[in-house]
Structure 1
Amino acid sequence: MKYKTLNASIIAASFSFSMFTLSGVAAAQELPDTMTWTAYDVGSQGHSEASAIADAFGRAYDTRIRIQPAGSAIGRLQPLVSGRADYAFLATESFFASEGTFDFAERRWGPQDLRAVAGRPSSFGIPTAADAEIHSLEGLRGKRVAYTAGNPSVSVKCDAILAFGGLTRDDVEAVMFPAHSAAMSSLVQGQADAVCTTTTASQLYELKESPRGLRWVDIPADDEEGWGRMNQVAPVFQSFTETIGAGLSEDTPANMLAYRYPIIVSMADKDEEEVYAMIKSLDESYDLYKDATSAIHRWVISDSGVPPIDIPFHAGAVRYMEEKGLWDKDMQAWNDARITRLEALQEAWESTVEDASGLDDDAFKARWEERRQATLDAL
């Protein structure tokens, strides 16, 4: 029998592969063999990223994942709440669901006991037509700002940006469009002067090359009072310097806000060990999916596993972040306060349902919003 001598590089490569395989088996024993996730429709950023992460889990841990797409917030939440889905890849509707607002102000919903596993930062700002000469948030006063009817996720972010500048919709000319695509095209068509959106929408590149031009309004990172006003609208935003998108680069960045999309969401009573395994797998398989889309690299756990975010973090996620040395006292205080807020709203909801049983739907929603705001004011 002839023996061949292996060189050091081959031995090292074989050892590394074996260790990766063993670590994958260990993690696979903690993850369920199969899972169901809900996500936005096929073709959306949320669905693309969920698919890339699911593929990584399949390759690393042999876990099979079914992704159930849905075009509505209710469609993405209902399977999670009913136990037919393990996790949901959501956006701002996770905040609405925990607050009992918009679609979730219906009697059959109310504040849902949701928890975040992780959620990657996604930038959002207010591009303007350069010829409108809007150089600050205050400069939006009296200008035409495009809104989309029936799109609370975008509208609440736009309201928050106005609040940052000390403005409300009453201080601008809010122009309502039937679809987000129409609102986005309105600047090129001369129907509006500003819109609220992400940085990579195709209409923004068109605006940049048009005679009107493109200018991003600065949202100063160091304006504490402005951030305070913004987070009174929704306490989920943070500052972000964006370099990717229309009119943006490393040499021409813009200060804007970050929210989380997608957010991996579970129910609060999800087993702690299972959620721990989920975020650990998300972290350890990062190299397998980090290049799948232009923004998916922002799932790096030091960014995606910490607040602020739309809902409280799950205890299993917190434990993993603590072990990684990425969770501090301020983060824990934020999470505790967010849980207190959610529990207070749930209690207020229960009392509203009891007190307002004889009211019609519109009157019930009005009563609930009054009770909700009073509850938040008392915290």
Structure 2
Amino acid sequence: MFTTYPKYLLGSILAFGSFVAAVGAQAQELPKSMTWGAYDVGSSGYAEASAIADAFSRKFDTRIRIQPSGSSIGRLQPLVHGRTDYAFLATEAFFASEAIYDFASRKWGPQNLCALAGRPASGGLVTAADADIHSVSELKGKRVAYVAGNPSINVKLDALLAFGGLSGADVEAISFPTYASAMSSLAEGKADATFTVTTPSQMYELAESPRGIRWLDIPPDDAAGWKKMGTVAPIFSPFAESVGAGLTKEHPVNMVAYRYPMVVVRCDLDDKDAYAFIKALDETYDVYKDATSVMPRWELSQSGVPPLDVPFHDGAIRYLKEKGVWSEDAQAWNDKRMARLEALKTAWKGAVQEGKDMSDEAFDTLWQAQRTEAINKLD
């Protein structure tokens, strides 16, 4: 039996039904509760994760618990073991996918990690002006400040040295106990160059010191240099920075952009979940974009394009295509990055089999050699 309604009432019923369906569909896009991994409380990564979590909660009524950790292992273990599905990470995502540094032991190996998005952050090679260094290649034989136990900084240094055709063996590498002491070493005359972001107090002190400050230019059109840098760490893109010590809007310097933080997931995360997360990240942008001075960089036109430390997840790519953000060049980059990940996973299996009776030290030597061989075969 069918009931006949007046046209105006029928329209209201249909509209209400559409509204309920839309709300139901929206509510089902994100789970009712999630656990995210992040850097320690007080870090910018934690602050940004908190701002986005608050936006998700307001718009979608999703409860989010953030699990902070001060170590790369502490942030990755919950993710790879399924205790968190999303983690706001930095360069440790690259390390874990490549099985290097903390993740080179036999209990790790190349991890199957993908990204949904990542905010660009800038950094570069800074030198004391009186060291008379004007290009990366001129760092040969100079004192370069590394940080003990900080592979995130050191791999960036190695990559930027590679841009100029150098390695750590070509410079006088000096290890400092902390990041702060490495940065201070330039003004104190203990080193001539290091890698850093542009705004720490130590950089302003260097600029005002008798030594002065100079940021080395990383030309975006030097294809050979970028290729060399990408072999060491394919995580950078060109970035003209105008904010920081010794920089002005009128005189920016070509540096590099890397991603911190990135939303990293296991590559086997269901496509619909990855799609729902990045869609929510996009739809709540206006809610969180003013939370800190750098939050506007989470706009998908910046955070949803490569390069990142790991490949993009297919679910994220589907949404980025719908938004017109994803390009053929982005897909080409992602295909190449995924091929590198798969090649390293295959090489790891061979290394584990060949080195099953080796000491940890001997196995590490074997793995580094096979990793390099696998990467070189991709070119």
List aligned pairs for 1:215-226, cutoff 5 A: 215-226=214-225
Q: Distance in 2 between matches of 1:252 and 1:24?
A: 50
Q: Which residue of 1 aligns with 2:56?
A: 57
Alignment TM-score, normalising by the size of structure 2: 0.91
TM-superposition CA deviations, 1:61-110 (whole Å, max 9, x none): 11111111111111000000111111111111111111111111111100
Q: Which residue of 2 aligns with 1:143?
A: 142
Q: Which residue of 2 aligns with 1:154?
A: 153
Q: Which residue of 1 aligns with 2:86?
A: 87
Q: Which residue of 1 aligns with 2:290?
A: 291
Is the alpha carbon distance of 1:23 and 1:290 closer, same or farther for their aligned partners in structure 2, counting shifts above 3 Å?
farther
> Is contact 1:21–1:60 with CA below 8 Å preserved after alignment?
no
List aligned pairs for 1:224-303, cutoff 5 A: 224-303=223-302
In the alignment, structure 1 segments of 5+ residues that lack a partner are 1-19
Offset of residue 141 of structure 1: 2.2
Tell me the secondary structure at the aligned position of residue 241 of structure 1. Answer: strand
Offset of residue 119 of structure 1: 0.6
Worse-superposed segment, 326-335 or 222-231: 326-335
Letter in 2 for 1:314: H
Task: Establish whether residue 212 from structure 1 lines up as the match of residue 237 from structure 2.
Answer: no
Tell me the secondary structure at the aligned position of residue 146 of structure 1. Answer: strand
List aligned pairs for 1:164-175, cutoff 5 A: 164-175=163-174
Runs in 1 of length 4+ with deviation above 4 angstroms?
Answer: 20-26
TM-superposition CA deviations, 1:142-161 (whole Å, max 9, x none): 22111101111111111111
Q: Distance in 2 between matches of 1:260 and 1:277?
A: 21
Q: Distance in 2 between matches of 1:351 and 1:307?
A: 30
List aligned pairs for 1:93-104, cutoff 5 A: 93-104=92-103
Tell me the secondary structure at the aligned position of residue 41 of structure 1. Answer: coil
Q: Which residue of 2 aligns with 1:307?
A: 306
Q: Which residue of 2 aligns with 1:378?
A: 377
Q: Distance in 1 between matches of 2:329 and 2:250?
A: 33
Tell me the secondary structure at the aligned position of residue 54 of structure 1. Answer: helix
Q: Which residue of 2 aligns with 1:119?
A: 118
Q: Distance in 2 between matches of 1:192 and 1:135?
A: 16
Is the alpha carbon distance of 1:254 and 1:41 closer, same or farther for their aligned partners in structure 2, counting shifts above 3 Å?
same
- How many residues are treated as equivalent by the alignment? 361
Letter in 2 for 1:146: A
Tell me the secondary structure at the aligned position of residue 196 of structure 2. Answer: coil
Task: Establish whether residue 37 from structure 1 lines up as the match of residue 21 from structure 2.
Answer: no
Alignment TM-score, normalising by the size of structure 1: 0.91
> Is contact 1:99–1:112 with CA below 8 Å preserved after alignment?
yes
Q: Which residue of 1 aligns with 2:45?
A: 46
Q: Distance in 2 between matches of 1:179 and 1:275?
A: 37
Q: Distance in 2 between matches of 1:341 and 1:139?
A: 31
In the alignment, structure 2 segments of 5+ residues that lack a partner are 1-18
Tell me the secondary structure at the aligned position of residue 120 of structure 2. Answer: strand
Q: Which residue of 1 aligns with 2:339?
A: 340
Q: Distance in 1 between matches of 2:358 and 2:169?
A: 30
Is the alpha carbon distance of 1:23 and 1:303 closer, same or farther for their aligned partners in structure 2, counting shifts above 3 Å?
farther
List aligned pairs for 1:9-48, cutoff 5 A: 26-48=25-47
Letter in 2 for 1:378: K
Cα RMSD (Å): 1.9
> Is contact 1:27–1:281 with CA below 8 Å preserved after alignment?
no
Q: Which residue of 1 aligns with 2:194?
A: 195
Q: Distance in 1 between matches of 2:358 and 2:57?
A: 50
Offset of residue 21 of structure 1: 12
Q: Distance in 2 between matches of 1:297 and 1:22?
A: 32
TM-superposition CA deviations, 1:247-278 (whole Å, max 9, x none): 22312211101111111000011111111010
Q: Which residue of 2 aligns with 1:10?
A: none
Q: Distance in 2 between matches of 1:57 and 1:107?
A: 38
Tell me the secondary structure at the aligned position of residue 320 of structure 2. Answer: helix
Task: Establish whether residue 109 from structure 1 lines up as the match of residue 108 from structure 2.
Answer: yes
Letter in 2 for 1:132: A
Q: Distance in 2 between matches of 1:236 and 1:290?
A: 24
Task: Establish whether residue 74 from structure 1 lines up as the match of residue 73 from structure 2.
Answer: yes
Tell me the secondary structure at the aligned position of residue 257 of structure 1. Answer: strand
Offset of residue 27 of structure 1: 3.6
> Is contact 1:25–1:61 with CA below 8 Å preserved after alignment?
no
Q: Which residue of 2 aligns with 1:16?
A: none
